Chains A and B, each alone.
Chain A
Amino acid sequence: MSYYALLGALEQGLVYGIMSLGVYITFRVLDFPDLSVDGTFPLGASIAAILITNNFNPYLASLFALLAGAFAGIITGVLNTKLKILNLLSGILVMIALYSVNIRIMGQPNTALLGYDTVFTPFENFFGLERFVIAPIFFVFVIVILVIFVVWFLHTDIGLSMRATGDNPKMVRAQGVNDKFMVILGLAFSNGLVALSGSFVAQSQGSADVNMGIGTIVAGLASVILGEAFLEGRSVFRAVVSVIIGSTIYRLAIAVALSFKIGNFQLNPSDLNLITAFIVTFALISPNIKKFIRVRS
């Protein structure tokens, strides 16, 4: 694997790590399998793209992407808690609705960002470095800030209530917490992060595409599960850090798999789903393998 491919995989691991943090909040904290992320990820990209191509400040554009994602999350939450639609279905409804919305937002299925200022531009100009070096460093900073923020949030009074809601809604209601509100808030938070991730991906790869969200939930889950397999431990801090580690390992594993070559046989990008299935399966059975090895030795 080349130096470029390694840096690229690291960058992807970090930027999709933001998305995985969002998936962690719904999937693990709230115990809510939220499929709307497949729609909110390109939503973030679309919003950022249309604003940036209209010469908006890219930071402001990313913030708007985050807010739009949060709003979509609120809709999923309202469908589930107020209108009593099954959680999986609420997410699917928002996901497919956003496909049309995203095309409306951009006015076309994809938007190129080449030549426009992005969140990296100030740093590129200041340090005089190429984007493929700047982007991973930029994302490291963003990730550190977000990890601290998420860990802090999950230890506040509201954060404790949110974690307890995913664990035992009966208990939180008895303690005076509106569990429905917690679900909506968690979905807003989660989808805000996912959309932010989408806006960053669009800016780093130079385009937004309405189909870029396909498989977001799978990648997010793969990262969460891989992270748990690599970093055991029950504390919130360890769990949140493990999501980022999982996301990075996932992208590295894919990069390694794609550079793999036996004779004339080589995996190509269309084999990605198969690779993902193998990686997730491996992560899911790894605790049993570990136990098996421990018992044997």
Chain B
Amino acid sequence: MIELLNVKKVFNPGTVNENVAIKGISLKINQYDFITVIGSNGAGKSTMLNLISGSYIPDVGSIFINDKDVSKYPNYQRASYIGQVFQDPLSGTAGSLTIEENLAIALKRGKKRGLGLGVKGADREFFREKLSQLGLGLENRLKDRVGLLSGGQRQAVTLLMATMVKPEILLLDEHTAALDPKTAAKIIELTEYFVNEYRLTVLMVTHNMRQALSLGNRTIMMHEGEIILDISSPERDQLEVKDLLEMFARVRGEDIVDDKLLLA
């Protein structure tokens, strides 16, 4: 279980560029939750994910993973709990290393790394089996450099790497946004497969409203660093895309009023 308690994050504090990215949010992510996160640009979605992953350390508030306070842990110390897939398909893998070497790095997530051989003979069989689950034929290309793969293939490998050691939570930051529609559909299919296969807890940022409602069991809407909607099944099942759009319009409308007041 992951819990955010009154978490706040300010960028460039005390300067003209001061930006309150997260205003003080509390969120309880239950085990096996699959939460989709929506919100306009600058709403704080990615910042929230980065706070959970440890890429950012909160200014105020605490983050608990399985009742352990990890607020001050840098990301590499939290990595044993967290699997991550980024928006940029190049971010999750090292292009100059081979597929098997990338997988070997992922296999040691949260474990001590020593001077043993990185890729052992026994690992290869395991890697082949895992890669065949992707259905991309990568199981025959263990010694190919990852840089030779397409964006979609790299994202699929990243997904595999994020889940190979079961994480407490899988963080997906618009992980299909940079892919063509067909590849994006394939990655979503794989995401659902891995989530069901390993019974994962997921937090997924998306810009696709339909995806936000069709995937998972719970949806969060963020706006200006706050969570303005948190709805779970079965109530969520009643919601339609146009309802979400209406809600967006409403919060944006308030923005316009604010702007008018400012400009008047």
Contacts and interface: CB of A to CB of B under 8 A. Distances in A.
Partners in one complex: yes
B65 interface: no
A158 B94 contact: no
A155 B104 CA distance: 10
A179 B105 CA distance: 13
A174 B75 contact: yes
A173 B75 contact: yes
B214 interface: no
A290 interface: no
Which of A157, A163, A164 gathers the greatest number of chain B CB atoms within 10 Å?
A157
Interface stretch (B109-117, B182-190, B229-237): B109-117
Interface string B88-102: 001111111100011
Given A177-B76, A178-B76, A179-B76, A158 B113 contact: yes
Interface in A2-34: none
Given A175-B161, A178-B76, A156 B92 contact: no
Nearest to A31: B96
A177 B96 contact: no
A235 B150 CA distance: 20
Interface in B111-157: 111, 113-119, 145
Contacts of B91: 168, 170-171
Given A153-B115, A178-B76, A171 B101 contact: no
A214 interface: no
B219 interface: no
Chain B: interface size category = 35 or more
A159 interface: yes
Contacts of B105: 157, 160-161, 164, 172, 175, 177
A154 to B, nearest CB: 9
B163 interface: no
A156 B97 contact: no
B108 A157 contact: yes
A156 B117 contact: yes
B212 interface: no
A261 interface: no
B84 interface: yes
Contact of B94 (A155, A157, A159, A163): A163
A281 to B, nearest CB: 25
B80 interface: yes
Given A157-B114, A175-B105, A234 B76 contact: no
A161 B116 CA distance: 12
A177 B114 CA distance: 12
Contact of A175 (B79, B117, B145): B79
A175 B76 CA distance: 7
Contacts of A179: 76
Contacts of B101: 160, 163-164
Nearest to A163: B97
Nearest to A154: B118
Contacts of A172: 76, 94, 105
Contact of B97 (A158, A160, A173, A178): A160
Contacts of B77: 176
A164 B90 CA distance: 13
Interface string A75-94: 00000000000000000000
Interface in A142-169: 153, 155-161, 163-164, 167-168
Contacts of B34: none
Given A161-B113, A168-B95, A170-B91, A176 B118 contact: no
A174 to B, nearest CB: 5
6 contacts: A157-B104, A158-B114, A174-B75, A175-B161, A176-B111, A234-B145
Interface of B: 53, 55, 74-77, 79-80, 82, 84, 86, 90-97, 101-102, 104-106, 108-111, 113-119, 145, 161-162
Given A173-B76, A174-B162, A178-B74, 11 more contacts: A157-B104, A160-B105, A161-B113, A164-B94, A167-B95, A170-B91, A174-B82, A175-B109, A176-B109, A176-B110, A234-B145
